[in-house]
Every structure is written in structure tokens, then in C-alpha cells.
């Protein structure tokens, strides 16, 4: 929640921004695929985000902006599809400034590419011309030598001298032919550079930027999603850390296995479903108590787990209603409470124990409870887990189920029966007088009548 709130506040206090875009092409042949188009866009982005170009654009517009921040966050260049057309976008809090900066940066990119495109052929041509001039000088020297040798051969006085001069002339002619061939190659290169410079496309702006009509979309949804994701990651990580440092036992079955007892029921959050679950648990507590030979039940819970008084009252109420269904002697009725929260001072050694626990318990608390159960050495009837304990106003609001209200008879040995208890009055069936066709009987109900005649 804190991260979500911080994300929402960050989105609200962030000023509204506007984005304006210009379109341009560079002096690069058209790309053949998306990868080549992306490479061209990277070239344009590298030029547009250069600090020299950004400062020049800011000076041209005449505004005060941080060139470093502008280059890192507010300038973007991307290719349009797989074409060689680039979209240069500038974001600013002022729509007019955004438009002017986009145009100025596009101009800077084009000017930079033109400067680079024109300087390279000129430099190449200069180098080629220097080499051609050197070759021309050497060729002229060799031509002069060949002419001198030709004249000397004509004036030679002997055959041997003429043969020697002819051989020297032949070698000089070979060198001259090599230099002429090199000059021819350089001249071809020079022509190619001139031709290529004329056929290379020039960078240009094909669409100037326009003033944006609407502000950029709000980033609140993205920030909220990011805050939610970060909160989820931190929450899961925190829960895992807490669980590693303070392990817990989760679930009714896991708790029953850890304590070595049987599950008697689980109380949900809803009031009506919780009342039904308590009635079912009462039946199981009754059966478990019969099996253990105990009629008194003490509820025990892990440390600081909750108030057990309302649950004890409701279980006691349902247990009494269940016991009224059994034919027992009037003198053997239980008049005292059968279910009480555990109290170390007034605990009954003959009482059975029912563990009442939340569905998630720290393992350390569960170990303490297990140690206490071993110290008590009382029969553990089972385990009742809960998502929420009943409140005080739920203790005696639910009557017995309809199938529980069946006819039952108490067999009295004394002519005077004790007064019925409150649960007996609430759940005892109504006794009707016999008809004339039936034998007269005296039903021993809660009114304390005698035995059957």
C-alpha cells in the first residue's frame, strides 16, 4: 500500500509534458530489413544526443534547459518501420519549446551528416591528387631519361656501347610503363569518388515538427502497476524471510499431525456456518468424551490465540442439548458446566482436553502447547481450528437441530424429580396426554412424572 501510494503521488505531482516529432533521412542507402533500419536509427540517435548538438539546439531556441538531462531522458530517435525515415522526438513541459527543439535538433543532425559526407570525399580526392602529382613528376623524369638514352644510342661509336645504352633504355621504359599504369588506376579511383559523391543521397528534413495538441498520457497507471509489482515482490520476500526465521504450521491437518491428535472440526468466518460447525464439533466432542470416559472438557489454546469463553459456552450449550437425547436417570443429570476454558489453578484432573487453535500457528507456540499437554497428562479429545472465534452474543443463539428434538424418556427412581435445567426446558419435547384408546401412562419428562403403569 505504501508503494502504491507513493507511485500515485509521484504520478500526480509530476508536471504534464508534451512531445513533438520531426522526420528526416540520412545520407545512407535505404535499409533492406528492420535490423538495418535500427542501425540507421542508432546512428541518428548518437548524433542527436551529442552534447555539442544539444547545446547548439538549446542556444538556437533560446531557452534554459539542462543539456545532459535533455539528452538522456527527453530525446528519442527511432526508425519508422523498416524504412530509412527517422522520427526524432523531443519531450518538454512547454509544447512550443518541444516543437522548436525538435526542429533545431533535426537541423543539427542533418548539418552534421552533411559535414561528414562532404568532408570524406574531399579528403579522399585530395589524397588521390597528391599521389597523381607525384606520379606525373616521376613519369616526366623517366621520359627525359629515355629521350637522352635514345640520343646517346644514335651517337654511339661502337656496337657494344650501343647495346649497353639500349639495355638501360629498356629498363627505364619498363619503370615508366609501371608508373603510367599506377597513374591510370588512381585516375579511375578519382573519377569513382567524384561520381559516388554525386550519387550519394543527402540528408534532409522531410517533415518539420508540429506543436502537440494533447499532453503526453499520464504515467499513473504504469507507476501504480510498478508499485503493485514491487509491493508484491517485497511482500513475498518479507513473508518468506519471516517464515524462515519464525516458521509456522498451517492448516487443520498439519496442526493435528504436529500435536498427534484427531481433528474435531474447523470454524469458518461466517456466523451461520460457524454455528453449524460448532454443533458438529460438539457431537464429536461428546463421542470423544465417551470414549475417554470423561464428561468434563477443558479448552486449551496456544499463547495469545484468543478468548475461549464464548466458544466454551456454545459448546457446553450444544453438548447439553445432545445429552438430553439420551435416556438417563434424573439423578444422574449434569447440572454443572461441562465445557470450560483451561485454567491452571482450577483445572480438573479428570477432565478431557480439547485443543482450540487458529489455522496458522507459530511452530514455537505449538511446541510450547505440546509440552504443556505432556505435563497435564490428560486425555486429549481432539483439535478444533478456527478462522474466527465466536463472539459473546453467539453463545446461546442457535437452538438444536430439528433431528435432535426427538422424544426421549427419563427414568426416575424417586417420586420427586429435580427441577429441569435451562437447556432441558429449551430442548425438551412437549408431552401430550394419552387418548381414550391408549393405556394411561405417566411420562417421565422434564416435569418429573412417575414410571409407566
Contacts of 96 (CB under 8 A, 6+ apart): 211
Alpha-carbon gap, residue 383 to 296, rounded angstroms: 16
Q: At what angle do helices 34-48 and 95-154 cross, to 10 degrees?
A: 100
Query: Per-residue pLDDT tens for 420-450?
Result: 544 444 444 444 444 444 444 333 333 333 3
pLDDT at 322: 83
Q: Are 285 and 318 in contact (CB under 8 A)?
A: no
| The length of the chain, given as a count of residues | 453
Alpha-carbon gap, residue 413 to 214, rounded angstroms: 97
Contacts of 363 (CB under 8 A, 6+ apart): 246, 247, 248, 249, 258
Q: Are 108 and 53 in contact (CB under 8 A)?
A: yes
For the range 424-433, what are the long-range contacts, defined as Cβ-Cβ under 8 Å and sequence gap of 24 or more?
A: 424/320, 424/324, 424/333, 426/321, 426/399, 427/320, 427/321, 427/324, 427/399, 427/400, 428/324, 429/405
pLDDT at 123: 77
Cell digits for 335? 447440572
Closest CA to 382 of 189, 252, 222, 199: 252
Cell digits for 85? 525515415
Alpha-carbon gap, residue 309 to 314, rounded angstroms: 9
Residue ranges per structural domain of the chain: 1-11+221-238, 17-207, 249-402
Q: Are 105 and 23 in contact (CB under 8 A)?
A: no
pLDDT at 79: 92
Alpha-carbon gap, residue 302 to 315, rounded angstroms: 19
Q: Which residues of the chain have pLDDT under 50?
A: 3-4, 7-8, 11-12, 335-336, 397-419, 421-453
Question: What is 17-207's CATH number, 1.10.287, 1.10.238, 3.30.300, 1.10.10?
Answer: 1.10.287
pTM of the model: 0.43
Q: Are strands 18-25 and 204-207 parallel, antiparallel or unpaired?
A: antiparallel
Q: Are 252 and 266 in contact (CB under 8 A)?
A: yes
Q: How far is CA 38 from CA 46, 53, 73, 90, 91, in A?
A: 12, 21, 19, 19, 21
Cell digits for 256? 493435528
How many other C-beta atoms are found inside a 10 Å radius of the C-beta of residue 77?
23
Half-sphere CA count of 332, side-chain side, radius 13 A = 11
Q: What angle do CA 96, 100, 101 make, to 5 degrees?
A: 115
Decide: residue 282, CB within 10 A, 0-12 exposed, 13-18 middle, 19+ buried: buried
Amino acid at each position: 500500500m505504501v508503494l502504491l501510494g507513493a507511485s500515485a503521488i509521484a504520478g500526480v505531482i509530476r508536471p504534464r509534458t508534451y512531445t513533438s516529432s520531426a522526420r528526416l533521412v540520412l545520407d545512407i542507402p535505404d535499409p533492406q530489413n528492420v535490423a538495418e533500419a535500427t542501425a540507421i536509427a542508432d546512428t541518428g540517435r548518437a548524433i542527436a544526443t551529442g552534447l555539442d548538438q544539444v547545446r547548439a539546439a538549446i542556444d538556437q531556441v533560446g531557452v534554459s534547459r539542462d543539456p545532459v538531462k535533455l539528452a538522456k531522458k527527453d530525446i528519442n530517435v527511432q526508425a519508422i518501420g523498416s524504412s530509412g525515415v527517422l522520427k526524432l522526438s523531443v519531450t518538454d513541459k512547454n509544447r512550443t519549446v518541444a516543437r522548436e527543439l525538435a526542429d533545431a535538433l533535426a537541423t543539427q543532425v542533418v548539418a552534421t551528416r552533411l559535414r561528414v559526407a562532404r568532408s570524406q570525399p574531399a579528403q579522399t580526392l585530395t589524397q588521390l591528387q597528391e599521389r597523381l602529382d607525384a606520379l606525373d613528376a616521376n613519369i616526366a623524369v623517366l621520359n627525359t631519361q629515355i629521350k637522352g638514352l635514345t640520343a646517346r644510342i644514335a651517337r654511339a661509336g661502337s656496337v657494344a656501347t650501343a647495346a649497353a645504352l639500349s639495355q638501360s633504355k629498356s629498363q627505364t621504359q619498363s619503370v615508366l610503363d609501371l608508373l603510367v599504369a599506377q597513374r591510370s588506376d588512381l585516375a579511375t579511383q578519382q573519377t569513382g569518388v567524384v561520381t559516388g559523391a554525386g550519387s550519394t543521397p543527402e540528408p534532409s528534413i522531410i517533415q518539420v515538427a508540429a506543436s502537440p495538441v494533447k499532453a503526453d498520457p499520464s504515467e499513473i497507471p504504469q507507476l501504480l502497476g510498478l508499485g503493485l509489482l514491487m509491493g508484491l515482490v517485497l511482500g513475498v520476500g518479507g513473508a518468506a524471510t519471516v517464515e524462515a526465521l519464525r516458521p509456522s504450521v498451517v492448516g487443520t491437518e498439519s496442526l493435528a499431525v504436529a500435536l498427534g491428535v484427531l481433528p474435531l472440526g474447523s470454524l469458518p468466518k461466517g456466523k451461520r456456518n460457524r454455528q453449524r460447525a460448532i454443533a458438529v464439533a460438539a457431537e464429536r466432542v461428546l463421542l470423544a468424551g465417551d470414549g475417554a470416559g470423561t464428561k468434563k472438557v477443558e479448552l486449551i489454546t496456544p499463547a495469545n490465540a484468543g478468548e475461549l469463553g464464548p466458544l466454551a459456552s456454545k459448546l457446553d450449550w450444544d453438548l447439553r442439548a445432545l445429552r438430553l437425547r439420551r435416556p438417563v436417570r434424573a439423578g444422574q443429570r449434569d447440572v454443572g458446566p461441562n465445557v470450560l476454558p483451561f485454567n491452571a489453578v482450577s483445572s480438573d484432573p479428570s477432565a478431557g482436553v480439547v485443543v482450540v487453535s487458529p489455522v496458522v500457528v507459530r511452530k514455537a507456540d505449538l511446541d510450547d502447547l505440546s509440552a504443556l499437554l505432556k505435563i497435564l497428562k490428560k486425555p486429549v479429545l481432539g483439535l478444533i481450528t478456527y478462522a474466527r472465534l465466536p463472539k459473546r452474543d453467539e453463545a446461546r443463539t442457535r437452538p438444536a437441530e430439528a433431528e435432535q428434538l426427538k422424544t426421549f424418556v427419563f427414568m426416575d427412581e424417586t417420586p420427586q424429580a429435580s427441577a429441569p435445567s435451562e437447556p432441558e426446558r429449551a430442548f425438551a419435547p412437549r408431552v401430550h396426554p394419552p387418548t381414550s384408546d391408549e393405556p394411561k401412562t405417566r411420562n417421565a419428562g422434564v416435569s418429573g412424572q412417575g414410571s409407566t403403569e
